[in-house]
Structures are given as structure tokens and as C-alpha cells.
Amino acid sequence: AQRVTQPEKLLSVFKGAPVELKCNYSYSGSPELFWYVQYSRQRLQLLLRHISRESIKGFTADLNKGETSFHLKKPFAQEEDSAMYYCALMRTDKLIFGTGTRLQVFP
């Protein structure tokens, strides 16, 4: 089955610490993967997508086909990064989301 797995429900770090939000996928073809973010009292919005190879707000994510992973990383967390993060997989023109990881960044 094609799915996305986010093993951590909650990740807590202190400001300035590195962050890695884990995402693993199961997909038989060439995957298209995304990270979406939802800040408190805001809409869910796209953070980044693997095909763009971009860095947004200091976050990067590399597709590792060997490990079937698309982990989201940031070298130095900021308090404003606290949010709910969802990994998503494009499956025949539909986005399938993982269960989400809540990131808490303490001052």
C-alpha cells in the first residue's frame, strides 16, 4: 500500500538545537513528496517539495530512495518553528498525508 509514516507524534527541542522530523514512505513508482506546516491558528500550507530542492525558512528535506525517507531538517531551531508538520505523498494526483509531528521549540 502507498503510505506515509511519521513515527513521532511530538518532538521537543530547545532553541538553537538541530531538528529532524522523520518521514518514511511506501510507493512503487517515483515518489513526489511534500512537507506541509500548520502554525497555531493558521491554515495548513505548503512548506517545501522535493522536486524544488529548495530551502524554506531554513528547512531542507532530501529524498533518500534507498531508505524511502524524506526527513525534514533544520540546523538551528527557532521558537517560531513550533507547529504541526505533515509529510505528504502524491498518489495518482491526490495528496496523501502522514499523521503529523508536533514540533515544540522551547526558549
Partner 1 sequence: DVKVTQSSRYLVKRTGEKVFLECVQDMDHENMFWYRQDPGLGLRLIYFSYDVKMKEKGDIPEGYSVSREKKERFSLILESASTNQTSMYLCASGSQGQGRFEKLFFGSGTQLSVL
Write out the residues near partner 1 by the rule CB under 8 A.
6, 9, 32, 34, 36, 43-46, 49, 86, 90, 93-100
User: Between residues 6 and 61, which has the closer beta carbon with respect to partner 1?
Assistant: 6
Residue 30 or residue 107: which is nearer to partner 1 going by CB?
30
Q: Which grid cell is 17? A: 538545537
Angle among Cα 81, 20, 98 to the nearest 5 degrees reads: 85
The distance of closest approach from Cβ of residue 83 to partner 1 in the complex, given in angstroms and rounded to an integer, is 14
Instruction: Determine the Cα–Cα distance for residues 77 and 65; give it in Å rounded to an integer.
Output: 26
Nearest to partner 1 of 17, 46 (CB atom): 46
Q: Min. distance of Cβ 44 from partner 1 in angstroms?
A: 4
Minimal distance in Å, beta carbon 36 to partner 1?
A: 8
Closer residue to partner 1, CB minimum distance, 78 or 82? 82
